[in-house]
Amino acid sequence: MWKEKLRNSVEIGLPKSSVELKHNRTTLGVSTLTNTEYCEQQAELNLLYPQIGKTDKIMKTGNISEMIISPLKQVEYDTLIEDIETKPMVITKFQIYSEIDGVVVGGVPDAVVFYSGVPYLLIEFKTGSPNNIWKNEINQLLIYRYLLEEMGFDCTSIRNLIVKSRSGVKIGEKGKKIMKQLYKIGNYDLDKFKNQIQKINVIQFDNHVHLIDYYEGSIINLIRRYLGLYTDLNRVPTNSSNLRKCESCIYFPKSKRFNENRITCPYFKNVY
Ligand code: SF4
């Protein structure tokens, strides 16, 4: 099943949702769903004004994954399928998606590592304080995990990781060392794997590898809650009740990140 889904996503594109979504969307991205943890209004504005809403932080995250994993080579999908089926280990990233209650949800995780034809590591790279991970970061990773299984991959052995690196720290060779450690993990059982992760935490104080547990029942409930924000066509998005969040928001006129080309958050439109 995963081969057909992978092929279709490349040749035809993602299928359209069979239920109506806000703003005439035909699909929803995983980050659109999980960004609502920060502020539902901001997630909606990002959806409406994608170019304007794109933040520097998102760009940097992309660079970090490339710095840690050497830039990935672009290959045809049939080459990727053949590599997954025949090579002992493949590190890759590709669009994963599934239809959930009539809504097509998709996204591209930073890395999926396959061992002997099955995914063994699912990895997201984030910047910030290495020891802290946010709810939206965890939920994003776990929704990817859910979608991967729904695409037909055998996820019984998969480990879900967030590699969090201090902002502004050059990763270079240090980061590559982490990845080498991670690759070796493929040969360990879960207990040894956890030990190995702890060792990485000690070795690399500027980078912390977080191993995230997955519970299918709770993640599907979470996805349904997120989908409700976009299938209720009359819903007015709620604003963040935390002014500190607003102060660093690109739609808040008093924020350093705001510029006049950006629209103003509707909640502050009449104030500034
Ligand atoms: S200014 Fe505040 S309420 Fe408005 S989008 Fe930004 S975080 Fe949300």
What DSSP assignment string belongs to 66-128?
HHHS--PPP--HHHHHHHHHHSSEEEE---EEEEETTEEEEE--SEEEEETTEEEEEEEEEES
In a domain, 256, yes or no: no
In a domain, 139, yes or no: yes
Residue 96 CA to ligand 1 center (angstroms) comes to 29
Residue 127 CA to ligand 1 center (angstroms) comes to 21
Residue 73's pLDDT is: 75
Block means of pLDDT (10 residues each) for the chain, length 272 residues? 91 94 95 94 88 40 50 81 88 92 95 88 86 92 97 92 73 58 52 52 58 87 96 94 90 85 82 66
Residue 202's pLDDT is: 39
- pTM, to two decimals: 0.84
Query: What is the span of the domain harbouring residue 150?
Result: 2-17+51-233
With the most atoms of ligand 1 within 8 angstroms of its CB, the residue from 240, 255, 272 to mutate is: 240
With the most atoms of ligand 1 within 8 angstroms of its CB, the residue from 229, 245, 264 to mutate is: 245
Residue 193's pLDDT is: 52
What's the domain count of the chain? 1
Residue 246 CA to ligand 1 center (angstroms) comes to 5
In a domain, 223, yes or no: yes
In a domain, 132, yes or no: yes
In a domain, 78, yes or no: yes
Which atom belonging to ligand 1 lies closest to the Cα atom of 240?
3
Which residues, 6 or more positions from 115, have their beta carbon under 8 angstroms from its beta carbon? 88, 89, 157, 186
Residue 237's pLDDT is: 94
In a domain, 183, yes or no: yes
In a domain, 34, yes or no: no
In a domain, 176, yes or no: yes
